[in-house]
Every structure is written in structure tokens, then in C-alpha cells.
Amino acid sequence: MLYNKSKALTVLGVLLGVGVLIYFKYMNFFITSFSEMFESIGLQTNFQTFTIILPLGISFFTFRLIGYVIDIHRGSIEPTRNVVTFAAYVAFFPCLLSGPIDRPGKFIPQLKKNRPFDYNLVVDGLRQILWGLFKKMLGFEVSKNFRYPYFARNIAEFWRKWHLSLTTWFTDYIYIPLGGNRCSKKRQFFNTMVVFTICGLWHGANWTFVLWGFYNGLLFLPLVAAKSKKNYSITVSDGKMIPYLSDMIRMTCVFLLATFGWIMFRAESLTFGFEYISRIFSKSLFSFPTEVRTSLVYICLLLLIEWTFRDKEYPLQIISQIRSPFVRWAIYYVMIVVIAIFAGQKSSFIYSQF
């Protein structure tokens, strides 16, 4: 009886979270889509959209809440009795806009501990900020969300390195409950496509995101069919200044497949996305204006740096091993000057819109 009550409350909590997400983020999307579908076959509708103000970071804190409820039901964590601790976990502002979606079992215990000033943590955070990453120096350890995904050698490895907290969330709370790999091959195909399609829809109420998720699911299916989801290590071509030819070919293929998918991900509509793709495969494909050539130089330089220090959390971590303060500060000042001179236009992190 107690288990049934717990299960009912868990289902209610999950449905409530999903319902809130659907209302605020997808209600108008579904209304518009069904209206257009009916009108395309000659059926006139009078569906009206709602004036809905989308709460900031709703996708992230909704997933945090759903994960919290499910983990309590599974017995992975104990429910917290402190309202402030619970609220701080759900709406932890450094992660509210762009993640990661930290698990409650890892993060909530940190909220209950004292966090004395840690000089090394502050220095580490400043170095990451200088390198272009973002990490609050507040005494908390948040999950590493991206681990050199463009050095991946197959799509499975790419998704183990891209937005790790989101990928593992879908794996733990959707893919495994659907049966995961413990079922027939056809069912594995179905589970894979469901997860990737939902992942696409999570990113936004637009068919472009659904198509992007479906596309990545299709890329993943050959690995499922061949049972080839090799768990490569984080580093590739260990100890090599230049990657092995086989690794380089695999990384190039994954990079091209992933970036091709980003076209639809960033498109305003399906029409715009397909038009953009059609323009890519024109005679201008191999034309390189001066500004493009300059950008390629910087890209190659940054790729070389990232590759060289791929076994580090971030490239500037190597500075902690330099004994001379003069050399360390010289590197800092040079980077600051370069950033000031070549800074481009202001732009927000792509995941801040979700």
C-alpha cells in the first residue's frame, strides 16, 4: 500500500512537471501546428493561441524537479526537509539558463555544507572565465557539461561529451525506463528515436528542433544495429601531438555530421533551414573570402591548443604548473589584450534560450 502511494505521488509529480512545461513552452506550438494541419486539408478552425509569458529557465528547473521526484521514488536520495536547500537546488542561478542539470544526490549535499573561501578554487574559476568558459566561484562543484565533443570518433561518443547532464538525464529517466538495450533490436531502435525526438523537442517549440532530434537519432541507429557504441576514453590518440589518421578521419566525419545538423537547429523554420542547406551546395561552397580565411586561421590555432591540452579540464590549467609568476601574468595579460582587440559582437550562449 505504501509503495503504491509512493508510486502514485511520483507519477503525479512527473505529470505535473511535464504539464507545466507543455503549457508554458509548447501549448501555442501545438495549437498552431494542429490548426495549420487541419487547414491544409480544407478544414477551417478557430483555434486561438494564448498570451503566455515563458518563465526563465523553465526547461532546466523542470527537469531538475522531475529528476528529484524520480530519484526519491527509486530510493537514490532522501527528500530534503529544508525549503531553502530545496529551492536553491531547483533554481541555482548559475545553472538556470544554460545548465548543467546536476543530479540532486550530488548537488544537494553541497548546499548543506559550509563553503569557506578557497583561493585555489577562485584562481581555477578565473582561469576558466579567461579561457572563455563560465564557472561561478561560489564554492560549488557543478558537473562538467562539455568534454571536447568535436574530438569524438562516433556519434555515441559525441553524445557522451556534448551536454553531458542532459544526455545522461534522458538516458536515466527515459531511455532506460523504456527498456534501454535490454530488449529486441526493433525496440532499441524505437527507444533511440523516441529519446532523440523528445530531446529535440525539449530544446524548443519548433519543428526544426524535432527534425534535428530525429536526424541525430537516425545517425545513432547504425551503431545500435552493429552493437558498436564503443566507449572511447576522453582523450584520443593518447600522447600524440598529431592524431592518428584513423582518428582524424573519424573526428572529421563526426564533426561534419554534427555541424550539418546544427543548421536545422539554428534555423527559424523548416523552410529557412532547407533553403539554407540548398544554398550551401552551390558554386560558392568552395569560395573563401578574406574574413573567412582569417577565421579559419584562428579556428585551426584554437583546435591545436584544445588538442594539445585535451587531457586537461581546460587549456589554461597548465599555467598552474608554471613556477615563474612573471610568465604566468604575462600569459594572462596577453590573452586579455587579444580578447580586447579581437572581441566580436555580443552574443549569448545558445543554451541560454532553453
Are 163 and 296 part of one and the same domain? yes
Are 203 and 98 part of one and the same domain? no
d(CA 334, CA 353): 32
Cβ proximity of 111 and 91 under 8 Å: no
Range of the domain at 313: 149-342
Are 61 and 200 part of one and the same domain? no
Are 279 and 172 part of one and the same domain? yes
d(CA 37, CA 44): 10
pLDDT over 90 percentage in the chain: 13
Which helix (H) or strand (E) segment is 212 a member of? helix 207-225
| Number of domains composing the chain | 2
Question: Cis link prior to 116 (omega < 30° from 0)?
Answer: no
Which helix (H) or strand (E) segment is 61 a member of? helix 58-74
Cα 271 versus chain centre, distance: 25
Between 300 and 287, whose confidence is greater? 300
- Rounded to an integer, the average pLDDT of 265-277 is 89
Are 179 and 319 part of one and the same domain? yes
DSSP conformation letters of 15-52: HHHHHHHIIIIIHHHHHHHHHHHHHHTT----------
- 139 lies in some domain: no
Are 183 and 244 part of one and the same domain? yes
Residues 6+ apart with CB under 8 A from 78: 72
Given pLDDT bands bounded at 50, 70 and 90, which one contains residue 210?
very high
Are 158 and 91 part of one and the same domain? no
Are 83 and 171 part of one and the same domain? no
Are 171 and 83 part of one and the same domain? no
Q: What is the pLDDT of residues 295-336, one digit of tens each?
A: 777 777 777 777 777 777 767 777 777 778 888 888 777 777
Per-residue model confidence (pLDDT) at position 100: 78
pLDDT over 70 percentage in the chain: 82
Q: What is the pLDDT of residues 158-174, one digit of tens each?
A: 998 888 888 888 998 89
DSSP conformation letters of 214-271: HHHHHHHHHHHHTT------SSSSTT-SS--HHHHHHHHHHHHHHHHHHHHHH-SSHH
What 3-state DSSP class applies to 281? coil
Are 78 and 162 part of one and the same domain? no
- 259 lies in some domain: yes
